[in-house]
Amino acid sequence: MAGIELLSDQGYRLDGRKATELRKVQARMGVFGQADGSAYLEQGNTKVLAVVYGPHEVRGARSKILYDRAVINCQYSMATFSTAERKRRPHGDRKSSEMSLHLKQTFEAAVLTQLYPRSQIDIYVKILQADGGNYSACVNAATLAVIDAGIPMRDYVCACTAGFVDDTPLADLCHAEESGGGTSLAVALLPRGGQIALLQMDARLHQDHLDTLMEAAMTACKGVSKVLDEVVRQHLQEMSILTGE
Amino acid sequence: MATVQVSEAEKLYVLHGVRDDLRVDGRGCEDYRHVEVETDVVSNTDGSAKVSLGHTNVLVGVKAEIGKPKPMVPDEGYLEFFVDCSANATPEFEGRGGEGLGIELSNTLVKVFSNKHCLDLKSLCISPGENCWVLYVDVLLLQCDGNLFDAISMAIKAALFNTKIPKVHICEDEDGGKEIELSDDPYDCVRVNVENIPCIVTLCKIGHRHVVDATLQEKACSVASLLISVTHTGMVTCVRKVGGGSLDPESIFEMTETGKRVGKALHAPLMELLQKEESLGSKRQKVGFLG
C-alpha cells in the first residue's frame, strides 16, 4: 500500500498496538441528570456522548406511530471542533444522515421495541472528538445510554471496525489507518447469540479474506462487550451503594 | 429554549421565596450554583473548556485558522461564534429545532466578545490586509438548566485562556511573494490575553426582586431578564434585555448595579482556578466526562 506503513515488519501498528489489539475503552454511565439515560465513552482518542430520551409519546407527525412497537429515532451529530479541520455544520449533511440511519437500524435489532407500542425512543449521539471508528464508538456509547435509561434490550450491542493490511486483519482502526483508503469493515454484534445487527464494508476485498476479517471484527466486538459489561456492573454497584441497598 | 411547565402554586412559592431571599434550592438571590470548570478537554482543538453550572453543561472549543482580515480593519484578526444547540440537551433541539436559539446566542456573543476592548485583536494579525488569525469559538450545549449565557461566557473565557496559537514566521521569496511558516514545536505558541474578557451575568426579575443564575423553573416565573457583561474592573461592556415582559427603568438601574457587583466578583476565582490548573501542566489528572 502506498503512503505510510500501517503494519511494521515486527507486527506493530502506527500507535504501537498489535494487530488484534483494541484501543483503550473507558466509559461512564449516567453523565447527565436531565436525560432518561446518558453515557460517555472514549475509545482511544474518539470521544462520544450518547443521550436517550424515552420511551415517550410520539412527537410530531402522528403518521410515524407504529401500533405494534416503538419508533426508534436516532440523530448522529459531530461537534464542529471534533475533527482536525473545523466542520461547518454539526449535523444534517449526507454522512451524518447515513450514520443516523445505521444507528437506527442497529438499535431496532437490539431494543425490545414490541414492549412499547405507540411510543418513541430517542437516541442522540454526539462526537466530541473524532479519531476513527466513529460509528462503533457511537453504538457502544448508545448501548450504555439505553441500558442507563432502563430500556430492555436483547443483549449489549457492541461494534468495532476491522481493516485488512498485508494479509493481516487489524482490529479497531484509528483515523490514520482509516483514512488510508484501505478496507474497513464495521460490525455491530449482539455478542451472546453471535447475531450481527449491522455489517458494512468500504472498499473492496478478496472474498477469500472475508472470513478472517469478519472473525477478527467479531472477536474485537466481544472484547468491547467485556469492557461494557464491566462498566455496567461497576455503575450498578455504585448506584446500589448510593441508594443504600 | 428548553422550558419547564410551572403551575400557579409553584410560581407563588418561588415568588415568595425570592421575596424572602431564600430560593428553592436554598440559595440567596445573588448566589451562583456550584460551578465546575475544566480546560483542555478536547485535544483536536487549540483550546477547550467544559463548564457545568448546576445542571447546565456547556463545552467550548476554540480553533485557530488563518484567514483574510476584514477590509474595514485590515490590521486585526477576528472571532467567529457558533452555538450548537444539540439534541443532547433536549429533544426539542432535534433537527433544526435548536437553530433559532443558536443564532440568538451567537449574535449576542459577537456583541459581547468581538470588540477590541475585550481582546487585543491586533495581536491576531499576521500580515496586515493579507492574513490574520480567525478564532472559531464553537459552543456546544450539552444540558440546559437555565442561565446559558453565564455558563457560556465563563466557558469562553476559560477556553480562550487555554488557547495556544502556533507561532508563525513570514518568509519572503525572490519574487516578493510571502509564505507563512507554522512552527512545528507545539510549545512554541502565543497565548491570548484574557484579562479584559467580560463575564456575562443574567439577572431575572421575579416579583419585585431580581436573582442571578436562575434555574429553568425560576426563569419560567420571571417576566423578563437583563443580561450584563462585566469585566474584572467592573466595567460594563454590554447590556441587553431578554425575554417577553417589560422592565421599568428604575429596576434596570438596580439590576445593573447588582450585575456589576456580582460580575466583578466572578472573575477573580475563575482566573485563580485557571491559573492553578495551568500551573499543574502535564501532571494534572484530566477528568473530563469520566469523573
A97-121 pLDDT per residue, tens: 999 999 999 999 999 999 999 999 9
Distance from CA of A3 to the nearest CA of B (A): 21
Cβ-Cβ contacts under 8 Å between A and B: the total is: 95
| Residue B1 included in any domain | no
Residues in A closer than 8 angstroms to B39, CB to CB, are none
Mean pLDDT of B241-256: 91
Count, residues in chain B: 291
Residues in B closer than 8 angstroms to A79, CB to CB, are 42, 59, 61, 84, 138, 140
Nearest to B138 among A34, A53, A80 (CB): A80
Percent of chain A at pLDDT above 70? 98
A1: pLDDT confidence band, cut at 50, 70 and 90? very low
Where is average pLDDT lowest: B159-168, B174-183, B184-193, B276-285? Answer: B174-183
Instruction: Provide the CATH number for the domain around residue B41.
Output: 3.30.230.70
pLDDT for res A3: 64
Tell me, yes or no, if B38 comes closer than 8 A to chain A by beta carbon.
no
Contact A81 B145 (CB under 8 A): no
Q: Are A221 and A155 in contact (CB under 8 A)?
A: no
What is the complex's ipTM, to 2 decimals? 0.90
Q: What is the mean pLDDT of chain A?
A: 92
Tell me, yes or no, if A30 comes closer than 8 A to chain B by beta carbon.
no
Helix A134-148, helix A207-242: angle, nearest 10: 30
Tell me, yes or no, if A144 comes closer than 8 A to chain B by beta carbon.
no
| Residue B243 included in any domain | yes
Residues in A closer than 8 angstroms to B65, CB to CB, are 86
Residue B67 above 80 pLDDT?
A: yes
Residue B3 above 80 pLDDT?
A: no
Residues in B closer than 8 angstroms to A134, CB to CB, are none
In B, minimum Cα distance to A142 occurs at B88
Residue B152 above 60 pLDDT?
A: yes
| Residue B288 included in any domain | no
Q: What is the pLDDT of residues B104-147, one digit of tens each?
A: 999 999 999 988 888 899 999 998 988 999 999 999 999 999 89
CB neighbours (10 Å) of residue A137?
31
pLDDT for res A166: 85
Backbone φ and ψ of A207, nearest 5°: -55, -35
Parallel, antiparallel or unpaired: strands B131-143 and B78-85: parallel
Tell me, yes or no, if B13 comes closer than 8 A to chain A by beta carbon.
no
Mean pLDDT of A164-182: 89
Whether domain A17-243 has CATH 3.40.30.10: no
Tell me, yes or no, if A195 comes closer than 8 A to chain B by beta carbon.
no
d(CA B103, CA B105): 5
Tell me, yes or no, if B87 comes closer than 8 A to chain A by beta carbon.
yes
Contact A84 B95 (CB under 8 A): no
Per-residue burial over A125-136, b = 16 or more CB atoms within 10 Å of its CB, e = otherwise: bbbbbbbbbbbb
Which residues are CB-contacts of A119 (< 8 A; sequence separation ≥ 6)?
A54, A55, A56, A57, A58, A70, A71
Residue A2 above 60 pLDDT?
A: no
Residue B194 above 50 pLDDT?
A: yes
Q: Are A72 and A78 in contact (CB under 8 A)?
A: no
d(CA B77, CA A103): 41
Backbone φ and ψ of A30, nearest 5°: 65, 45
Residue with cell 464491566: A230
Number of domains within chain B: 1
Helix (H) or strand (E) holding B209: strand B209-212
Question: Domain range spanning residue B146?
Answer: 8-280
A144: pLDDT confidence band, cut at 50, 70 and 90? very high
pTM comes to 0.93
Tell me, yes or no, if A119 comes closer than 8 A to chain B by beta carbon.
no
- Choice between B3 and A217, residue whose per-residue pLDDT is larger: A217
DSSP lists the bridge partners of residue B169 as B181
| Residue B136 included in any domain | yes
Residues in B closer than 8 angstroms to A39, CB to CB, are none
Helix (H) or strand (E) holding A234: helix A207-242
